[in-house]
Amino acid sequence: MTSDLTPELLLQAYASGIFPMAESRNDDEIFWVDPHERGVLPLDGFHISRSLRRTIRSGRFTVTVDRDFEAVIDGCADRAETWINPTIRRLYSALFARGRAHSLEVWEGAALAGGVYGVSLGGAFFGESMFSRRTDASKVALAYLVDRLREGGFTLFDAQFLTAHLATLGAIEIPRADYQALLAEALGTRGDFTGAGPVPAPQTLLQRMTQTS
C-alpha cells in the first residue's frame, strides 16, 4: 500500500477528511486516521497571551514563509517519537513542490528556532506538525500562520488532534460530523496561501489579532 501512495492520493484523502500517519520513523507502513473528535483552531479565536505579545513585539524572531520546507519537516521529526517516516517526508516534499504544502519558519538570527508545516486545499489548511527549539517559537509560528490564513481567505484550520498546548491558543474539539460539514464548506472556497502578502511587521500582526480575536 505504501508504494502506491502518491501526492494526488494524499490530497484526495484530505478532501475526504482523513490523513496519514506512521507508527514511528522506522515503520515503513502508513495508516489512515479519521478521528471521532477533530481538533480545529477557529481563525477568529486565536488567543495571544501577554507574554506571547511581548515576544512578538520584541522582534526577537524573524518569520519567513516557504523558505526552508525541508528543514521544518526535519525539525518536526527531530524528537524521540515521531510519526514522520521517510514515506511521509517524501510525500509532503512532493506536495510542497506542487505548491500544495507550505511551511512557516521562525528564525533567531541565522538559526531556525521553530516552524510549522501543513497542506492547503481549497479554503482549508491542514496543520501537520510544528516544532520549537526556543521558548515561544512554535507559538509565534502559529500566530503568523493564523494571520496568513485569515489574509488568504481560508475558512478552516484543521489541527487534527486537540492538545493542551493548542487549547491554550484557542483550539477546540468538534465531532466528526461537524468537521465534515466545515470541510465541505471550505473545499467550496479558495484560499490563497502565497498570495496573502508579505509577512507583516510584529505591530501589524498584533493589531490584526486584536481586531479579529
Quick one: pLDDT at residue 207?
93
Quick one: pLDDT at residue 196?
84
Query: What CA–CA distances, in Å, run from 100 to 55, 124, 127?
Result: 30, 11, 12
Cβ neighbours of residue 50 under 8 Å, at least 6 residues apart?
none
**pLDDT > 90? residue 110:** yes
What count of Cα atoms within 13 Å lies in the side-chain half-sphere of residue 184?
6
- The tens digit of pLDDT for each residue in 160-194 reads 999 999 999 999 999 999 999 999 999 999 999 99
Query: 109 near 115, Cβ under 8 Å?
Result: no
Query: What CA–CA distances, in Å, run from 201 to 25, 147, 192, 206?
Result: 37, 12, 20, 9
Quick one: pLDDT at residue 4?
79
Q: Residue 212 — very low, low, confident or very high, per pLDDT cuts 50/70/90? A: low
Quick one: pLDDT at residue 2?
59
**pLDDT > 70? residue 213:** no
Quick one: pLDDT at residue 190?
95
Quick one: pLDDT at residue 3?
58
Query: 48 near 209, Cβ under 8 Å?
Result: yes
If you average pLDDT over every residue of the chain, what do you get?
A: 94
Segment 120-146 shows an average pLDDT of 97
Query: 85 near 26, Cβ under 8 Å?
Result: yes
- The tens digit of pLDDT for each residue in 1-36 reads 555 789 999 999 999 999 999 999 999 889 999 999
State pTM to two decimals. 0.95
2-212: in CATH 3.90.1300.10: no
- The tens digit of pLDDT for each residue in 32-63 reads 999 999 999 999 999 999 999 999 999 999 99
